Structure 1
Amino acid sequence: MEQKEQVFLAALAGLLHDIGKFALRGGAEGASRSWDRQAEQDYKYKHALLSEDFAERYLPPQWQGQVKFAIGKHHRPHDRLASAVALADRLSAGERADSLSDDSQREKQPARLLSIFSDVRLEAGEDEVPQVYWPLKTLELSKTHLFPEKDYGGELWKEYEKLYGGFVAQAEKLKTAYQNDGDIAYYLESLLAEMQHFLWCVPSAYYKSRPDISLYDHSRMTAALAVALYDSPSLSDEQLAAFAQQPERVEDDLVTLVGGDLTGVQSFLYTITARGAASGLRGRSFYLQLLGLVIARYVLDQLHLPVTSLIYVGGGNFYLIARREDAARLPEIQAQVSRALFNEHQGELGLILQARLLSGRHFFNGEIRHQWDGLIGQINAAKLKRLEGLEVDLARVFEPHGVGGSTPQQCAVCGREHSGIKPRRVDEGVEETVNKCPVCESYEDLGKLLRKARYLVLQPVEGEPPAQIQMQAGRGWQAITRQFGYAVQVLEKLENEATGILFALNDEAFNHRLPRPQCAMARYLLVNVTPILSEREHAGLRGKVDQLPVPGSVKPLNVLEAQARGIKRLGVLRMDVDNLGKIFAEGLQERATLSRIASLSFAVSLFFEGWVGEIARQMNEEESQRLYSIYSGGDDLFFVGSWDMVVEFAMRLRHDLNRFTGGHPDIHPSGGIVLVGGKYPLYQAAEEAGAAEDQAKHHRWAKNGIERQKDALSFLRMPLAWERFGFHADAEEEEDTAHALMLTLKQIVESHENRALIGKLIRLHELYQARLEERRKSGEDLNRAGQIQVLWGPWNWLAEYHLSRLKDVPKDDVEKIRRRLKQENFRSIEWIGLAARWAELITRERR
């Protein structure tokens, strides 16, 4: 048998080694033999027998015989593959063997999956972290099945039976599709997608273990390790068998943890200069995500590893498990990728590949978190010399290059020279033109394809990165993906003859999946929200907006500006999770295992690469489409839109992240929003939003006498803690926020046409801010303990004076504002001033 198929069979054995646990909970009956003393001696646990039965019933027959005994006998291994799966199982779980059994009988109540966030501990105490559980539902974003809840003692058997029945039905379809001339690589990827869909919410163990790792994550990590162990030429059969007995004592290097980082992402995404660049910005952003995906798969292909070896890819990063011998191959693979990226982007984008060898003991007692953090440190250090390995090629960089001649050959979007530059439309449907290069135009075309995209297709092709650096003009996104071995298509509909890896981009597309022998059908999480100009909107904006594009076009930024409520401005938002690196490095503490880290990675990507897009889509459907997703990957996001809607989106995101983490006090985002005009350079707005986000991350505030930092939003150049801006974990206290007061002031203006109160509050806040800045400069803003002191001043009694003299405003509204001003020893002037400015902007058009 070819080595490639052997590797994929090892992955298949690892992936299905515990599927019998799902069968047990799903009520599967009719095991191939009675569960008696002899069966226990042969299999040790009943779930192992059921796993073997599953393989015999539902695997395509050409692969059954090679893997079913390794699946069934992984607790009683007697050959190399079974020993590799047994060792991989122990390393993936990172727990002792006596804690891994899960053969609870039919009468014992099964458990829900505990949220991985319930394991995270940073500043919060043990009793402050909520213990919440995922619902037993298939993975569908559109049905809002993503939010955990407190466990309850209700009957769960029916929910398990429904899930298992759905999984078995899909396994039978896969068997039928692949049993004749099916490709094992495509079968493996399709099976992995089905396990994600059905098993993301099913605990891998619960009877003697904490039920916080999904069977999906544990199984895929076991598959990754099984391949690396089984196919390692320097690990003997005897070593694998011996190591499987007590892996926590093994000092030998067993596998390699590989990390990849795409450098230059921020610069590439945000350095865009031309008006109209927004029409291609979405395509440019997706290109970065696509590039990370394709490069990760190129590394897998070069190392002859299956997709199950990939732990995570997103946000310009990827991590995978490889053989211990593979570490030596990474420098050359990095050089291959770097040359291709250099030729296309002239050094703006690059790749860092780093490796960390892991011994058996690294998988136990939380040690894996230190190795993961150490790998990230290696990557960050390598960024300082990211062209290492290309020294021979770099001489070409200093040779004369460029287009030359007297005719301007500079792209108005990216600023680079290119021989193919010619006048092209600023925006789709607009007659005005600027000079654009074919590369930037290719990003615009990609952005247009994404509007109605339902599928992403990766078709393997014969491709090879260049052997040397050549200072040539870029050729566009499709050319470079082919160099990494994949022709890529973005489609609204699938053609019947489509082959390769077919990624569904939404629930509807995935629910209509139909397995075929020469393709894989999987799910790709993608935030893909693009506002489209409707016929009705076009008619209403005609004559009011310059260079209005035709209906059906992507809304340019000046249209989003014109559709803003109140003052006509764009809102630009950048946001990410506070302390995410620390959460991965320290948050799981002694509970850290490879499977838990994989679960945490998957959970973060599920929210930021999945649910964030659902929030934006729902908001665009609820009113006119005024939100535009530029980028959302890893935990980082960049949105533009009508300013009022961007602010509401940020608050909804903060609220839903709190729900998604079960209200975890240590997991929160900080962000920055800036308001700009529709013709303002977007790259400059992105930089300013980034500066505002940084301001929020350095914001210091107090709660219950304890000083805190981060968990804030900077808006109108004013950072404010989320619980005072517009989100509060305690719903009863949400009325004491800037958002709630803004709505009160807005109502006063709309109902009584009285703007006097807004103006007075703004001036009082300006007085407060001026005095506060003076104190900061003189160093008088902190007490001896280094805590921020309350600032008293004339605004305290002036506010009371002005409120008492207000006319034509309901007394109840005045009393609410008076009460809020007195909160926290009059410190509330900080957020009341922001609320007044906010209300002034949202009602500006009524002046």
Structure 2
Amino acid sequence: MNSAQEKLYTASLFHDIGGIVSLIPEFKKIGHAESGSLWARKIFNDEDISNIILFHEDPDKAPDIFIRNLAGFVNNGEKVFNRRHKEDETFGDVNLMSVCTLVNGKAERQYYSEPSYNAVLVDEPAGNGESLFDIASSLSREVKSKDSTYLLNLLRRYTLNLPQLNHTDLRKSFYFHSKFITALAMCDMYYFSEHLSDKLIYGALKDDEKRYLLLQVDYSGIQDTIYTVSSKGALKTIRAKSFYLELLLEDLFYSLLTKFNLPRTNIVINAGGGGILLLPNRDEIKETIDKEVSSLNRFIFDRFGGTLFVSAATLNVSANDLKGDTKDYLMTLADKLNGVKSRKWLDQIDDIFDGVKVLRGDGARLVECPVCHGLFKEEDITGMEVKVCKFCDNIMELGRVIDCAHGFKIADKLYSGPGLPVESYNHKFIFNIPKDEFTHSFDVENTGCIYVFNGSFSTEDSIDNLAGKAIGDKRIGVFRADVDNLGNIFSTTPVDLISYAELSERLSIFFCERLPDKLKVRSGRIDILKGRPMDVNLVYAGGDDLFLIGTWDDVIDAAIITYDEFKKYTGFHNGLNISGGIVLADPDVPIYKLAEISEGAERRAKENESKNSISIFNNVFSWNDFYLNKDSVIAYLNNLLAGADLNDSYVATDYSKGSIQDIYNVLKGSERNRKGKSYYNVVYINYVMNMVEKKNNVKSNLWRDVRHKALNSKKARLLACALEVALLLTRKEEIK
């Protein structure tokens, strides 16, 4: 960015900082603009930045046209997002209200317990007084660089869960408010860049002028690209491969933003294999978008063939549009994007084939890479554990260290300094790995390093090793899930772009940051497994999606942890739920097949009435029936295995495995189907169990307990699932 852009960026990012730093006596003034201006003058030693903050509430009082215009851009951003100031607000006595209160459905007001990054939701606001003073002091102390990404990271760390204190809406995070005001101001500055100092622009801004451009991009064919791996170390390779696809979009966004000197604030959303950018509506930007997307697709075609494609669509919007409900314009943008997806490759077919490098018959022996299945000359095949192409070897190395990565910076392709380099279509991503574990490290302080929140958590890189750690039956499990009805989650409540983006980022924070940490500790819901380490791998976690592989027993516990923690994270909002499917498989089933069958299980769960369900063993249960209710699958499992012993490889019970099998056979034999829904014939169950009792003189407590449950069709269904889990846990089996 040039000097003027850096001044506007810094001033707009911290335009309301006075609401925080006014708690420091040195910066205490009558209004937040005065306090913020005084703080900026000391911290940045820049009179222009100080004046932009000082006059952002009333640009007409600014001393010259340049400051009036830049302060006016900040002021316009506040008008677009409809902020009403409350200068009489007592700073420190309020907490940020959860954005989830805007979501469809019934929700009690809930607040973040404190401004810190790891705050939890609570029912009553407790105040921010002392911690707010700490934030003001820390921010003032840690502003060591004017690097745009560094400053944005700093603001996110300290103000993500802090309300915009000098405004009336306590559901608006200080961080998101500041980010979007900055994004809009930077768009206006670019749009009017020719006349910043010689023409008064602020007074001529028109709310109906389509001077903004929304760009939406999305992948097609992710599953076919990621899951076609059958090599050793496949689990970490797949995670790295899916993360690499995220990096490609990161490179696209970075390339577009840097070409027009725009900061990362203009990334509205970047999650789940897609994203939205807010840009100035200028012809040269539209032309550059077309060129960059075409260049990226050419690179993708060269690396992955025709299975993967990036679609992009743009929409011209005005300030009036952005003031309104997001669904009024985002649905139009999504329709345009779907139209592009329907004709993928068509517009670029000539460019693609001009750019593809074809190996011709020069006598060289061609070898297939077992990961990407491309054909390469023998000298281009490398690798320590598995012989793969150089590109896949780089991805596999990323997979080995991804759990330890502290962040990455983006460099040009000629970079040869410290850090682990991963090549993209335009740039290199340089990953920072701790020195005590790997050699790929660099100093992230003041560098604008982009932190890695990749949803990575793994315990094994081999599916065979995972299966061998399972209790009882030596199989693996897969859990695939996502958030229900996300596309219509704001359908009954109008929300602006800030709230829309905040919910998206907070969902990403859950799946990419919070969940990996929570999977380190068991749910405590399955009694027999308490105290054991978790053996699961997050293959993909981002946006609102989850794909997890582990031992079959730990995958069941991981599904419970996911739902438990998600409900806590969203304040138990009844409009925010997860549905998912669990499947069990032998370790030799290919990854792509696991993805396919788990997708089917997830789909069955979402087809259940009201969703909010889990599918397992081809049955679908609400989460209440699966583990939350007194009568539930997991409750019945705990009863069945009460008093059992857990050794290294299976569960030993006081009663014979045959008795569990007998009961299970009776229940499954009574299962019937009516209009696509299963039920249990209790008359048949009663008849068969009477026969068994008389023949074998059965009088055990187990038999009496299960018979009582089995004579209720709903309970019989829950019991059958619990018995199936118990059978698997008690199986004595060596891995095949």
Q: Give the CA deviation at 1:393.
A: 2.2
Match of 1:571 in 2: 477
After TM superposition, the structure 1 = structure 2 runs for residues 626-641 of structure 1, keeping only pairs within 5 Å, are 626-641=535-550
What is the distance in 2 between the residues matched to 1:448 and 1:190?
27
Q: Give the CA deviation at 1:793.
A: 4.8
In structure 2, runs of 5+ residues without a counterpart are 61-67, 524-529, 645-651
Match of 1:534 in 2: none
What is the distance in 2 between the residues matched to 1:521 and 1:647?
37
Q: Does 1:609 align with 2:519?
A: no
> Which of 116, 138, 153 in structure 2 is aligned with 1:166?
138
Aligned letter for 1:104?
D
What is the distance in 2 between the residues matched to 1:641 and 1:165?
45
Match of 1:527 in 2: 455
Q: Is the 8 A contact 1:262 1:292 kept in 2?
A: no
Aligned letter for 1:418?
F
What is the distance in 1 between the residues matched to 2:520 and 2:371?
28
* Closer/same/farther in 2, CA of residues 803 and 53 from structure 1, 3 Å limit: farther
Look up the SS of the partner of 1:520 in the other structure. Answer: coil
What is the distance in 2 between the residues matched to 1:634 and 1:90?
30
Match of 2:367 in 1: 409
Aligned letter for 1:309?
N
Match of 1:562 in 2: 468
Q: Is the 8 A contact 1:403 1:418 kept in 2?
A: no
What is the distance in 1 between the residues matched to 2:570 and 2:376?
48
What is the distance in 2 between the residues matched to 1:666 and 1:120?
7
User: For each residue in 1:371-390, what CA deviation from the matched residue of structure 2 results, as whole angstroms up to 9, or x when unmatched?
Assistant: 12322222222112222442
After TM superposition, the structure 1 = structure 2 runs for residues 21-40 of structure 1, keeping only pairs within 5 Å, are 21-24=19-22, 27-31=23-27, 35=30
Q: Is the 8 A contact 1:293 1:314 kept in 2?
A: no
What is the distance in 2 between the residues matched to 1:741 and 1:802?
24
Look up the SS of the partner of 1:163 in the other structure. Answer: helix
Q: Does 1:263 align with 2:220?
A: yes
Match of 1:337 in 2: 296
After TM superposition, the structure 1 = structure 2 runs for residues 477-488 of structure 1, keeping only pairs within 5 Å, are 480-481=423-424, 483-488=425-430
Equivalenced residues, count: 704
* Closer/same/farther in 2, CA of residues 398 and 13 from structure 1, 3 Å limit: closer
> Which of 716, 728, 745 in structure 1 is aligned with 2:617?
716
Look up the SS of the partner of 1:253 in the other structure. Answer: coil
> Which of 87, 96, 112 in structure 2 is aligned with 1:134?
112
In structure 1, runs of 5+ residues without a counterpart are 36-45, 140-144, 179-183, 464-476, 503-513, 532-553, 700-707, 782-787
Match of 2:660 in 1: 758
> Which of 423, 428, 446 in structure 1 is aligned with 2:398?
446
Aligned letter for 2:350?
V
User: For each residue in 1:638-666, what CA deviation from the matched residue of structure 2 results, as whole angstroms up to 9, or x when unmatched?
Assistant: 11111111110111110110001100111
What is the distance in 1 between the residues matched to 2:158 and 2:355?
51
Match of 2:87 in 1: 103
Which moved further from structure 2: 522-531 or 572-581? 522-531
Q: Give the CA deviation at 1:408.
A: 6.0
> Which of 668, 675, 678 in structure 1 is aligned with 2:577?
668
Aligned letter for 1:53?
L
* Closer/same/farther in 2, CA of residues 615 and 802 from structure 1, 3 Å limit: farther
Look up the SS of the partner of 1:639 in the other structure. Answer: strand
Q: Is the 8 A contact 1:272 1:683 kept in 2?
A: yes
Look up the SS of the partner of 2:458 in the other structure. Answer: coil
Q: Does 1:199 align with 2:159?
A: yes
Q: Give the CA deviation at 1:725.
A: 1.2
Q: Give the CA deviation at 1:298.
A: 1.7
* Closer/same/farther in 2, CA of residues 286 and 329 from structure 1, 3 Å limit: closer
Aligned letter for 1:716?
F
Match of 2:59 in 1: 77
Which moved further from structure 2: 330-339 or 628-637? 330-339
What is the distance in 2 between the residues matched to 1:752 and 1:499?
58
Q: Is the 8 A contact 1:567 1:844 kept in 2?
A: yes
> Which of 702, 714, 717 in structure 2 is aligned with 1:830?
717
Q: Does 1:147 align with 2:48?
A: no
What is the distance in 2 between the residues matched to 1:406 and 1:528?
39
Look up the SS of the partner of 1:575 in the other structure. Answer: strand
Q: Give the CA deviation at 1:401.
A: 4.7
Aligned letter for 2:98?
S
Q: Give the CA deviation at 1:745.
A: 1.3
Match of 1:437 in 2: 389
Aligned letter for 2:153?
A
Match of 2:631 in 1: 736
Match of 2:648 in 1: none
Aligned letter for 1:241?
Y
Q: Give the CA deviation at 1:561.
A: 0.4
Look up the SS of the partner of 2:332 in the other structure. Answer: helix
What is the distance in 1 between the residues matched to 2:576 and 2:390?
43
Match of 1:535 in 2: none
Match of 1:52 in 2: 37
Q: Give the CA deviation at 1:791.
A: 6.5
User: For each residue in 1:771-800, what CA deviation from the matched residue of structure 2 results, as whole angstroms up to 9, or x when unmatched?
Assistant: 21xx337xxx6xxxxxx9x76553453487
TM-score (structure 1 length as normaliser): 0.76
> Which of 121, 144, 156 in structure 1 is aligned with 2:128?
156
Match of 1:87 in 2: 76
What is the distance in 2 between the residues matched to 1:29 and 1:664?
41
Aligned letter for 2:636?
L
Look up the SS of the partner of 1:351 in the other structure. Answer: strand
Q: Is the 8 A contact 1:15 1:222 kept in 2?
A: yes
* Closer/same/farther in 2, CA of residues 302 and 657 from structure 1, 3 Å limit: same
User: For each residue in 1:680-717, what CA deviation from the matched residue of structure 2 results, as whole angstroms up to 9, or x when unmatched?
Assistant: 21221121111111121112xxxxxxxx3321111122
Look up the SS of the partner of 2:571 in the other structure. Answer: coil
Q: Does 1:116 align with 2:99?
A: yes
Q: Does 1:219 align with 2:165?
A: no
What is the distance in 1 between the residues matched to 2:570 and 2:596?
29
Match of 2:732 in 1: 845
Q: Percent identity?
A: 20
User: For each residue in 1:317-366, what CA deviation from the matched residue of structure 2 results, as whole angstroms up to 9, or x when unmatched?
Assistant: 12221101133432222222222222233333332222111112112242
Look up the SS of the partner of 2:56 in the other structure. Answer: coil
* Closer/same/farther in 2, CA of residues 204 and 815 from structure 1, 3 Å limit: farther
> Which of 597, 601, 607 in structure 1 is aligned with 2:500?
597
After TM superposition, the structure 1 = structure 2 runs for residues 373-388 of structure 1, keeping only pairs within 5 Å, are 373-388=331-346
What is the distance in 2 between the residues matched to 1:293 and 1:793?
57
* Closer/same/farther in 2, CA of residues 673 and 77 from structure 1, 3 Å limit: same
Aligned letter for 1:842?
L
Q: Give the CA deviation at 1:397.
A: 8.1
What is the distance in 1 between the residues matched to 2:194 and 2:165?
29
RMSD after superposition: 3.3
Look up the SS of the partner of 2:470 in the other structure. Answer: coil
> Which of 4, 7, 12 in structure 1 is aligned with 2:5?
7
Aligned letter for 2:304?
H
* Closer/same/farther in 2, CA of residues 105 and 452 from structure 1, 3 Å limit: closer
Look up the SS of the partner of 2:334 in the other structure. Answer: helix
* Closer/same/farther in 2, CA of residues 480 and 381 from structure 1, 3 Å limit: farther
Q: Give the CA deviation at 1:830.
A: 2.3
Q: Give the CA deviation at 1:164.
A: 2.4
What is the distance in 2 between the residues matched to 1:423 and 1:363?
51
After TM superposition, the structure 1 = structure 2 runs for residues 759-774 of structure 1, keeping only pairs within 5 Å, are 759-769=661-671, 771-772=672-673
What is the distance in 1 between the residues matched to 2:190 and 2:294?
25
Aligned letter for 1:836?
L
What is the distance in 1 between the residues matched to 2:580 and 2:549?
13
* Closer/same/farther in 2, CA of residues 678 and 392 from structure 1, 3 Å limit: closer
User: For each residue in 1:172-198, what CA deviation from the matched residue of structure 2 results, as whole angstroms up to 9, or x when unmatched?
Assistant: xx1xxx4xxxxx4xx221111111111
What is the distance in 2 between the residues matched to 1:400 and 1:281?
26
Which moved further from structure 2: 221-230 or 295-304? 295-304
Q: Give the CA deviation at 1:814.
A: 5.9
TM-score (structure 2 length as normaliser): 0.87
What is the distance in 2 between the residues matched to 1:167 and 1:816?
62
